[in-house]
Amino acid sequence: MTNERRVLVHPDKESLGASVAARFITKIIDVLEEQNYASVVVSGGSVSTLVLAAINASPARDSVDWSKVSIWWADERWVPAGDADRNDTQAGIDLLDHIGLLPENVHRFGAVGDFDDVEAAAAAYRDELLQHAQADDAAPRFDITLLGVGPDGHVASLFPDKAQIRQLEPTVLTIDDSPKPPPVRLTLSLPVINNSQRVWMILAGAEKASSLGLALAGAGADQVPVAGVKGRKRTVFFVDRDAAAEVPENLIASTY
CATH number of the domain to which 97 belongs:
3.40.50.1360
Peptide bond into 182 cis (omega under 30): yes
pTM, rounded to two decimals: 0.95
**Residue 256 within a domain:** no
| 39 within 8 A of 102, measured Cβ to Cβ | no
pLDDT at residue number 255: 61
Domain tally for the chain? 1
pLDDT at residue number 249: 79
CA–CA distance, 182 with 32 (Å, rounded to integer): 37
pLDDT at residue number 252: 79
| 175 within 8 A of 146, measured Cβ to Cβ | no
pLDDT at residue number 45: 87
Select from 74, 132, 71, 130 the least CA-distant residue to 102.
71
| 38 within 8 A of 30, measured Cβ to Cβ | no
**Residue 228 within a domain:** yes
**Residue 196 within a domain:** yes
pLDDT at residue number 1: 39
CA–CA distance, 158 with 49 (Å, rounded to integer): 20
What is the span of the domain harbouring residue 206? Answer: 4-251
**Residue 71 within a domain:** yes
pLDDT at residue number 46: 83
The residues of the chain scoring below 50 in pLDDT are: 1-2
